Amino acid sequence: MKKIKVLLILLAGFVISSCKNEFSEELPPVTLPLDKAITNEKVLNTAVNGLYGLYQTSGGDGTLNSYGALLPTLEELLGDNAFVALVNSNRFSTTRDPNLTFYTQNNNDISTLWNTLYVIIANANFVLSYEGKITDDPNTPGTPQNLFGQAYTIRAMAYSTLVSLFSDNFNGSNADIGVPLPLEFKPATNLPRSSVKNVYDQIFSDLTNASSRIGNKNGNKKLNGVAVDMLFSRYYLATKNYVKADEYAQKVLDNSDYVLLSSSDIADYFSVAGETNKETIFQVDYNPLDLPGSNDAITATWSSTGRYKQNFATQTFFSKLGVNDVRRGTWYRDTGYVLTLSDNPKPIDVMKYTTIDRDVVVIRKTEAVFNQLEALYYTNASDALLKLNTWVKINRNPDYVYEGIGIDLLKEILMQKDLEMFLEGFRYSDLKRNGINFKNSQTQVELTTSKVQFKSFPVPQSELNTNNLLSQYPGY
């Protein structure tokens, strides 16, 4: 895949960087050229730290951008509950076009996401090529086995994201059109698309390898066994094995090392002080030594405290919060700056990320609540309804009562998930996975399961130009 090859060459001197040498320290970036062999555990530790560095939004020009900003932003703006305001920087502005002009093979954000995820995969492949060759060093924290387990998890996450966005659902249309599946570090190699099933089989294999190696004691700035369990629950939701999805969600809920976010901790959870909350399983590390650029941080376009102050939630979304919901007025506000905007209805300010050095949450324990509810909807809907009412009433809104059944219950489960996990990387994919059509009340953007834009993102034209084995998704 030539595009990946070019990126790797350009990044060779600095792409594997690290913010910490110990499992909990924050240190200046350390570099490891890609052509430098991993000869011992200390170098391996630096290389794995560098994989996490690739999750960050690059501080220069945003050429690397995924879990730290771009992915959670797109998951909301491409769904039904968020929008770009009329006055904007032109970033993401096509997401508000009812003609769906965002979904083109020349879209820079789609290209950035594709390239970043494959850079992550290529670097993970490089690290994994040394498995079985590194002995344990008693003077280096952790073990080689743990470090390789992290690399397997990182690769599984990247493939999970790629196949969910650049292919149709598991057992959906065009089952043979998955994504390219490089598993070795061979940057000069072009590959065709693998099948959707083969990609999910590889995700399962990587998570299985990770679970037997990784352990549970890496802290919340690195992945661990609990994160693997959560990723398994996501995997089983995607592959429609709802019994197993429920089982793995329950494993996370039963883990005593993490504590579900209480209503009393809502207000401070997304502050810098909230980074140590035991709700968080994994977050992308940002600190004063390696901050993203002001144009590309998640704070750049979200909230009235950001640079561009342009991305907001809808009034329809806000209306789902009861007057006594603890998230109303803390995470979501209908006061202040948004009242000065010309949009009608007025936007809702999303106040989760308001400082550039707050780590970006990728996996937290409360997700398991909603993964389980979604699984139960398909296996025991009455139990799902009972658990939904209990969780929301006790933990977020004391006045909450819901009695809907059928598809309305599933929509309510997913709406409550978005009320809780807005801007954390789920909404568009949740709706797509469950085949739920929607219309954005603010922009009138509408997606249905018959539209190609709700089946798959287009592959970037730049990638098609350099890889003649790669086919575009039908319909683009």
* Cis peptide preceding 29, ω within 30 of 0: no
Query: In this structure, is the dihedral angle defined by the CA atoms of residues 157, 161, 162 and 164, taken in order, positive or negative?
Result: positive
φ/ψ of 397, rounded to 5, equals -135, 105
CA torsion angle 30 36 42 48 (round to 10): 70
Residue with tokens 């202040």: 336
Sequence-distant (≥ 6) Cβ neighbours of residue 271 within 8 angstroms: 354, 355, 358
Contact between 100 and 445 under an 8 Å Cβ cutoff? The reply is: yes
Q: What angle do CA 189, 192, 198 make, to 5 degrees?
A: 110
Q: How far apart are CA 337 and CA 109, in angstroms?
A: 27
Q: How far apart are CA 80 and CA 428, in angstroms?
A: 8
What pLDDT is recorded for position 19?
A: 36
**DSSP for residue 97:** -
The pLDDT profile of the chain, 476 residues, written as one tens digit per residue, is: 433 333 343 333 333 333 333 222 332 333 444 556 899 999 999 999 999 999 998 755 668 999 999 999 999 999 999 999 999 999 999 999 999 999 999 999 999 999 999 999 999 999 999 999 999 999 888 899 999 999 999 999 999 999 999 999 999 999 999 999 999 998 889 999 999 999 999 999 999 999 999 999 899 999 999 999 999 999 999 999 999 999 999 999 999 999 999 999 999 999 999 999 999 999 999 988 788 877 889 999 999 999 999 999 999 999 999 999 999 999 999 999 999 999 999 999 999 999 999 999 999 999 999 999 999 999 999 999 999 999 999 999 999 999 999 999 999 999 999 999 999 999 999 999 999 999 999 999 999 999 999 999 999 999 999 999 999 999 99
Sequence-distant (≥ 6) Cβ neighbours of residue 25 within 8 angstroms: none
Query: How far, rounded to the nearest angstrom, does the alpha carbon of residue 111 sit from its chain's CA centroid?
Result: 16
- Closest C-alpha among 49, 36, 4 to residue 284: 49
- Closest C-alpha among 111, 21, 165 to residue 465: 111
φ/ψ of 284, rounded to 5, equals -75, 125
Residue 13 burial (CB count, 10 A): 12
Sequence-distant (≥ 6) Cβ neighbours of residue 144 within 8 angstroms: 41, 44, 131, 134, 135, 136
